[in-house]
Chain A
């Protein structure tokens, strides 16, 4: 699967005195999950609104599935599914009425709608909620209904604004599986979030934004190898561990363990070999924080 679901170059948007986006670049390939990561106020929501054709950019070029949003907003709109951060639903409707309404509004042929709705409900594991009023759904279920709504017209590009916030771990795992399976079918998925540990499992790529600009774009696989993070060493004999680490300046003792670093993966491997050679009974060596978290913290470091 090649080609780009989303291409954005130099996107700028201002709200009064606030420059929400200041020339941001972004690409989202088909068949992959791309994570959009940045602190609050970085402009993630603003960017997603622009990609969803709801908001117009002041400057810059945005193409969705090859259609320029400025010149062909309707073609772009047909190709995009969007789930906003605060999902509004018509509480008075049942789950299937809700989806039927959007299926009709998207112009799906009448005979195709019931099949499409059933397929969507089973995709998001809401089969059993068919006929239930929307207001009776749990937060996680509503979130999945929102994903189903965004997928009603089979978009090739899916945008989700902080879909994982407020979800319990079980719902998050389900959301992750859903997004992975959509990507496997060739959809270009863009997820904004700051729940970093989750993104590491969901995303293939990560785009870091801060103050309305792209500050980094990495493949998840490279990220782990390239970034330096702190590592946690566990040992049966903490005393010997601390003695072996005595020469280093970056050590912080913990109960039954020590934190070292920041180190790259290669440096960590070397440290392990060194400790084992010194006869320290090591039971574990693992990153103290995710690679993404380290990058994120490094990015936001200067604001503290």
Chain B
């Protein structure tokens, strides 16, 4: 495995792909659509804004980011799910395997090509993501962290699609499975959590059952939305004076912070009445577990893909043509 080999495969992949479809047109449409919708969202927010705390750039940033994450995760299967079985179907894979390129070169080169395309897709949404930063509503640090995490999650989705394309002989099945995987991570994890929650019920001393979400919080962790929201650094809080004392309060209209507080509460479990401020400070982060799980899944998919490309092939799976 060499950087030259990986680079060669990546360049080849991008070159053949650029010449097949109307990529430039598609990317322009994407940029116009996403940024246009983001600006309309922003205008709508300003119409609605009555709060004295929190800039309308805050919900804009969070909302656009989550929408972009979900949309790019839905686009990436199309980038990677035909990378390997497509070459097999066309009969070009054997020629690659006969060169000095190693399975790792081929897999990482194809990952790089797909991931790079995904990152360009992300890059095109930057205008509407950076506007709140320019306005000072969102700190530079938060923007960098969330962009990095989004980039990583796009890479994970590319790796999973690549894995399916190596594992399944037909590219149409691989595309389908890639979508199902992304769907499973996005929708399946909260569904699983919701189903599992009643099973955690245990009797309390006072005679009725109580759920124990702290036993199943990890089911939510791999969710890309959860990972992204929880990894985003918290916004600065403000201090409020009330007749009952002094509290600190987060901006109420921050979707990322809201999701993050929610999952950390779930991890903490239902401890009865706890002072809201304490709870906010003490709950441990969820995102490192989720991100680690997602990255391990991606790593496994890549390892499996490389294994499938090893030659000579001693075991030929059914329906796979060697050359």
B19 pairs with A54, CB closer than 8 A = no
> Complex: how many Å from CA A113 to CA B98?
18
Closest to B100 in A: A107
List the A side residues contacting B313 at CB < 8 Å: 54-56
A54 pairs with B101, CB closer than 8 A = no
Given known contacts A101-B8, A105-B101, is B19 in contact with A56 (CB within 8 Å)?
no
B312 pairs with A69, CB closer than 8 A = yes
Within 8 A of B (CB), among A168-205: none
B323 pairs with A54, CB closer than 8 A = yes
A55 pairs with B322, CB closer than 8 A = yes
> Complex: how many Å from CA A84 to CA B323?
7
Report the minimal beta-carbon distance from A93 to chain B, rounded to whole angstroms: 7
List the A side residues contacting B236 at CB < 8 Å: none
Report A69-93 CB contacts with B as 1/0, cut-off 8 Å: 1000110011010101011111011
A92 pairs with B19, CB closer than 8 A = yes
User: Which of the residues A56, A84, A88, A101 comes within 8 Å of B314, measured between beta carbons?
Assistant: A56
A105 pairs with B316, CB closer than 8 A = no
Given known contacts A73-B311, A101-B8, is B94 in contact with A54 (CB within 8 Å)?
yes
A104 interface residue, CB < 8 Å from B? yes
B312 pairs with A78, CB closer than 8 A = no
Closest to B9 in A: A105
Closest to B17 in A: A92
Report the minimal beta-carbon distance from B168 to chain A, rounded to whole angstroms: 19
List the A side residues contacting B12 at CB < 8 Å: 90, 101
List the B side residues contacting A15 at CB < 8 Å: 316
List the A side residues contacting B19 at CB < 8 Å: 92-93
> Complex: how many Å from CA A69 to CA B314?
12
User: Which of the residues B92, B312, B323 comes within 8 Å of A90, measured between beta carbons?
Assistant: B92
A52 interface residue, CB < 8 Å from B? yes
Closest to B318 in A: A16
Report the minimal beta-carbon distance from B318 to chain A, rounded to whole angstroms: 8
A106 pairs with B99, CB closer than 8 A = yes
Q: Residues on A close to B: CB < 8 A?
A: 15-16, 49-50, 52-56, 58, 69, 73-74, 77-78, 80, 82, 84, 86-90, 92-93, 101-102, 104-107, 149, 153
B215 interface residue, CB < 8 Å from A? no
Q: Considering the complex of A and B, which 8 residue pairs feature the smallest CB-CB distances, nearest first?
A: A88-B91, A56-B312, A105-B99, A92-B19, A88-B92, A56-B314, A84-B323, A88-B90
> Interface residue tally of chain B, by bracket?
20 to 34
B16 interface residue, CB < 8 Å from A? yes
List the B side residues contacting A87 at CB < 8 Å: 91
Closest to B316 in A: A15
Number of A-B contacts (CB under 8 A): 82
Known: A49-B323, A50-B312, A106-B99. 15 other contacts (CB 8 A): A52-B94, A52-B323, A53-B98, A54-B312, A54-B313, A82-B323, A87-B91, A88-B91, A88-B92, A88-B94, A89-B92, A102-B95, A105-B5, A105-B101, A153-B99
> Complex: how many Å from CA A30 to CA B172?
45
Within 8 A of A (CB), among B1-35: 5, 8, 12, 15-16, 19-20
B120 interface residue, CB < 8 Å from A? no
List the A side residues contacting B314 at CB < 8 Å: 56, 58
Report the minimal beta-carbon distance from B315 to chain A, rounded to whole angstroms: 9
List the B side residues contacting A80 at CB < 8 Å: 98
Closest to B96 in A: A105
A88 pairs with B312, CB closer than 8 A = no
List the A side residues contacting B98 at CB < 8 Å: 52-54, 77, 80, 82
A54 pairs with B91, CB closer than 8 A = no
List the A side residues contacting B99 at CB < 8 Å: 102, 105-107, 153
A92 pairs with B20, CB closer than 8 A = yes
A49 pairs with B95, CB closer than 8 A = no
Closest to A102 in B: B99
5 contacts between A and B (CB under 8 A): A50-B312, A54-B98, A73-B311, A89-B92, A93-B16
User: Which of the residues A73, A82, A92, A104 comes within 8 Å of B312, measured between beta carbons?
Assistant: A73
Closest to B12 in A: A101
Q: Which of B96, B99, B101 has the most CB of A within 10 A?
A: B99
B97 interface residue, CB < 8 Å from A? yes
List the B side residues contacting A93 at CB < 8 Å: 15-16, 19
User: Which of the residues A69, A78, A88, A149 comes within 8 Å of B100, measured between beta carbons?
Assistant: A78
Q: Which of B15, B20, B98, B313 has the most CB of A within 10 A?
A: B98
User: Which of the residues B16, B97, B323 comes within 8 Å of A92, measured between beta carbons?
Assistant: B16
Closest to A133 in B: B19
A54 pairs with B92, CB closer than 8 A = no
> Complex: how many Å from CA A268 to CA B100?
54
B100 pairs with A84, CB closer than 8 A = no
Closest to A149 in B: B95
A105 pairs with B8, CB closer than 8 A = yes
> Complex: how many Å from CA A107 to CA B100?
7
> Complex: how many Å from CA A107 to CA B102?
12
> Complex: how many Å from CA A242 to CA B8?
71
A53 pairs with B312, CB closer than 8 A = yes
Within 8 A of A (CB), among B93-122: 93-101
